Chain A
Amino acid sequence: MANITQLHINGTAYSINADPQTSLLSVLRDQLDLTGSKYGCGEGQCGACTVLIDGNPRRSCITPVGTAAMKQITTIEGLETNGQLHPLQEAFLREGAMQCAYCTSGMIMTAVALLNSNPHPNAQQVSQYMEGNICRCGTQPRIVAAVLRASKEVAQ
């Protein structure tokens, strides 16, 4: 298979040159310096690398870049629009839903996908949806609160 030469990320076409088997995460981080997506485990178990591909949450560390070509990729860097934070970003700040914050981008991207599919989740649904994302600092209660806060603000 030929090398992948273009990716559509956050509404922009990026030129790259990568073996299709290379992980999307390493292309984002190492080739494009989009380092908001984090490496945490390399096996899709922690969620720190979560991005949206055509709106669906995907673990970019186990996603071959070849499967993401021609699709719309959204990373944490693409959530802010014209200096306006996404309601989830705002809610994470308001709830103080972070400590070291290394998991934060993956948490927010997963939560974006959740609110896209279910704009009014309850706490238990948030918790279930986020189960695949690890926060080792233990800010889970605040993350749930932030997602609920954002869901209310989106609704208004």
Chain B
Amino acid sequence: MSDKSFVRDPLLLAPVMRDPAAPLIEPERYEFHASSAYHFALQRRDFFKFLGAGLLVACVAKEALAFQESGGGRRQGSQSLPREISAWLHIGDNGVVTVYTGKVEVGQNIRTSLSQAVAEELHFPIGKIEMVMGDTKLTPYDMGTFGSRTTPTMNLQLRQVAAAARDALVDMAARQWKVDRSALAAVDGKITDASTKRTVEYAALVKGQQLTQLIPTEDPLAPATEWKIEGQPIAKVDGRDFVTGKHKYPSDQRLPGMLHGKILRPPSFGATLVSVNPPDATVMSDVTFVHDGDFVGVAAASQELATRALKSFQAEWKPAADQMSNKNIFDYLKTHAANDKGEGAQEVGSVEQGLKSADHRLKQTYMVAYIAHAPLEPRTALAQWSGDNLTVWTGTQRPFGVRSELATAFHIPEENVRVLMPDTGAGYGGKHSGEAAIEAARLARAANRPVKIVWTREEEFTWAYFRPAGVIDVTAGVRDDGTITAWEFHNYNSGGSGIRTFYDIPNQRIQFHETKYPLRQGSYRALAATANHFARESFMDELAREVSMDPLAFRMKNLKNERLRAVFEAGAKKFDWGRKKTAGRGFGMGGGFEKGGNVATFAEVNVDKASGDVRVVHVVTAFECGAIVNPDNLVNQLEGANIMGLGGALFEAIEFENGKILNSRFSKYRVPRFSDVPALETVLVNRTDIPSAGAGESPLMGIAPAIGNAIFDATGVRLRSLPMVPNGLPKA
């Protein structure tokens, strides 16, 4: 065991008022970050020892393969696999196909959609495919499951791996039977020779073999129009484990001799520990106590005992100065911008000239509050040490990132750390970091026993990170005929994702401004695309009304993008846009594209002017993300995104003051419930000629502006701050 002192996760030590220029590891904020140096623990011979005999096919970046084959790197026949492998699958002589990917399942149903990809190209029954996901010892390095990247990248790579495996099997059968491979067909896990009626199962072909094959990432694949398994509404492959309660989530993991850990939290953000007195021996017998810098925690045989021990501590904390409140957050962000240039900064033409040539000039400010992901399973981890080797089961979207965090925290090499990610109770962009893993590991090291930590709901609401609050200023010029001549858009703090306008405007200035910010913030499903679409699409509605145009016609006049036009048109048709509304009702729309997904959302609201009660009664979402991999799961994602987005649009907001979260419970932080859910209809536009993109995030972007515009349509009240009606319609 290392004697070096324990290093805290830098994220946990983030100062309350961080200088944006300071180097803080915060990959989740803008998601894509440089990957860490890759480490590959298993050697090729270890694989077959571990997997048993069979055929192993791995997918490698083309450049890496060329390098290897030219003799520059490890050769194909050598014992270790190249570092650039992103996925592989193994066909065992027991008839099981095992697929290895570093991607993780948090409810987006990729265990199913990736199984479909393999079944499709391998020509193998989907029910016999085993997916090993997010285990840093067994799966290839993966940066993380975020950014809607699984479908466009991993789905494609697994199809390529599976296609290559099928090819290899056909070759093996052709050699064995001494026939031309063109005479053979691979169907349902068997190779068949139609002329002689011979059949051999994949498992029999690979019996006793130890074959490896590396393939470049560009094998030709079956086009989407010929898909048989992809494109089908396949149900969750392991659904039965969930409806029976058998599935073991991270918080359900246990080990013999396991203790339960609890951490002493500061009373407010940024508070530093002055002193701590452990309670007397009667409470502390059988309790492991750790005090290491600002880290104070206990581990005991039961949660109750650990909680009791923690409560009896006498601790003195020094609060951080200058804590602020959500009440003045927007002024703060505007006045603490650090720089003028940021991600997405773009200048086209001259905004000044464009404004001059306009008949109307409009300027508005939009705001979004801090909100919480609130995944139903809070952060949790089970850690076990064996000498200097650490194994952690935890719910994270970045198992390899958490491995790095653990290696850094405990001064051990990454190869000593194994992180496993059982399918987890959601993430929504909120589980990129490894706090609970580090805490459990620290306690486990002291206790010399496995330790499990399950954050309480209050801890999750307080010590996780939030979707950033932001302020967005928009200015535009528009001619009487509805042509937008100038567009200026400034986002303060919430982020650059989806910041660029997809409308065709000759003069643009678009900037993201980093600012100082008071709360720990990070990525959230769809990132800032939600805020930027809210501002853009609400402002489009304002501009349309300024020139007395129908909001749909106004958009179409300024929009050339065919894919986006198509979803607006499809949604409008389904919604019957232009129909007459009844008293108290209003209609609105919002749409856009991001990460390969095109969305147009149409909402109908009912406003009771007397009580101020606002209800979303009907939502139509038209969506297109290329070739659809699983239509039922896609609809599920669209419905879920709308419901989740409805919460942030209408009532979700984190309230904070003096370094404390004031609504850190479900009884105080309102999330959408059954009664909030409108009638939801979806229109799927299936573009089989376009590669499939992810759909977990982009469907979220249209709902807030659609609702806001519908509220205006119903009432004439323009709401420019999310959430819009936390206490009902504001009194005029």
Contact = CB atoms under 8 A, between A and B. Distances in A.
B235 A101 contact: no
B666 interface: yes
A141 B423 CA distance: 23
Interface string B654-692: 000000000001110001111101001000000000000
Interface string B375-414: 1111000000000000000000000000000000000000
Contacts of B424: 100
A153 interface: no
A156 interface: no
A35 B378 CA distance: 15
A7 B374 CA distance: 33
A38 B377 contact: yes
B107 A100 contact: yes
Nearest to B375: A136
A113 to B, nearest CB: 15
Contacts of B671: 134, 136
B55 to A, nearest CB: 33
Nearest to A105: B245
A105 B377 CA distance: 13
Interface in A8-56: 19, 22, 26, 29-30, 33-43, 45-46, 48
B304 interface: yes
Contacts of B242: 98, 101, 104
A144 interface: yes
A150 B116 CA distance: 28
Nearest to A134: B671
A3 B518 CA distance: 47
B108 interface: yes
B622 interface: no
B376 A103 contact: yes
A108 interface: yes
B666 A41 contact: yes
Contacts of A141: 639, 677, 680
**Residue from the set A22, A29, A30 with the largest chain B CB neighbour count within 10 Å:** A30
Given A43-B666, A127-B675, A131-B674, A99 B302 contact: no
B304 A19 contact: yes
A149 interface: no
Contacts of A90: 243
A139 interface: yes
B457 A89 contact: no
A107 to B, nearest CB: 10
Interface string B236-266: 1001101111111101101000001000000
B244 A38 contact: no
B667 A33 contact: no
B636 A100 contact: no
B107 A41 contact: no
Contacts of B302: 26, 30
A138 B454 contact: no
Contact of B244 (A77, A100, A138): A77
A142 interface: yes
Contacts of B53: none
A36 to B, nearest CB: 2
Interface in B421-466: 423-426, 428, 454, 456-457
A55 to B, nearest CB: 19
Nearest to A23: B304
Question: Interface size class for chain B?
Answer: 35 or more
Given A35-B252, A45-B667, A128-B674, A26 B303 contact: yes
B375 A100 contact: yes
A29 to B, nearest CB: 7
A99 B426 contact: yes
A149 B372 CA distance: 33
A35 B241 CA distance: 12
Interface residues of A, number: 58
Nearest to B105: A100
Given A38-B377, A98-B236, A138-B642, A77 B636 contact: no
Most chain B CB inside 10 Å of its own CB: which residue of A29, A41, A128, A131:
A41
Given A46-B376, A99-B640, A138-B642, A128 B675 contact: yes
Contacts of A76: 243-245
A100 B425 CA distance: 5
B643 interface: yes
B109 interface: yes
Contacts of A80: 244
B646 to A, nearest CB: 8
A46 B666 contact: yes
A143 B639 CA distance: 12
A22 to B, nearest CB: 6
Interface string B266-310: 000000000000000000000000000000000000111000000
Interface string A91-103: 0111010111111
A39 B164 CA distance: 44
Contacts of A143: 674
Interface string B621-647: 000000000001100110111111000
Contacts of B633: 96
A30 B191 CA distance: 49
Interface string B82-118: 0000000000000000000000001111000000000
A22 B305 CA distance: 10
A73 interface: no
B457 A43 contact: yes
Contacts of B423: 100
Contact of A140 (B303, B666, B674): B674
B673 A45 contact: no
**Interface-central residue, B106, B456, B673, by most chain A CB under 10 Å:** B673
Given A85-B243, A99-B109, A137 B640 contact: yes
Contact of A39 (B109, B254, B454): B454
Nearest to B632: A96
Given A99-B107, A134-B666, A40 B252 contact: no
Contacts of A139: 636, 639-640
Given A30-B260, A98-B236, A100-B375, A138 B675 contact: no
A14 B245 CA distance: 19
A32 B233 CA distance: 37
Contact of B248 (A35, A132, A144): A35
A77 B677 CA distance: 29
Contacts of A36: 244-246
A69 interface: no
A83 to B, nearest CB: 10
A36 B249 CA distance: 9
Among B242, B375, B428, B644, the most chain A Cβ lie within 10 Å of the Cβ of B242
B673 A102 contact: no
Nearest to A99: B107
Contact of B377 (A22, A40, A142): A40
Contacts of B675: 127-128, 131
A79 B677 contact: no
A37 B377 CA distance: 12
List 4 tightest A-B contacts by C-beta distance, closest first.
Answer: A36-B245, A100-B107, A138-B643, A102-B425
Given A37-B245, A100-B376, 6 more contacts: A43-B457, A93-B243, A99-B636, A101-B107, A105-B245, A136-B375
12 contacts: A35-B251, A38-B249, A40-B378, A40-B457, A93-B236, A96-B633, A100-B423, A100-B426, A102-B426, A127-B675, A128-B675, A138-B639
Interface of B: 106-109, 233, 235-236, 239-240, 242-249, 251-252, 254, 260, 302-304, 374-378, 423-426, 428, 454, 456-457, 632-633, 636-637, 639-644, 665-667, 671-675, 677, 680
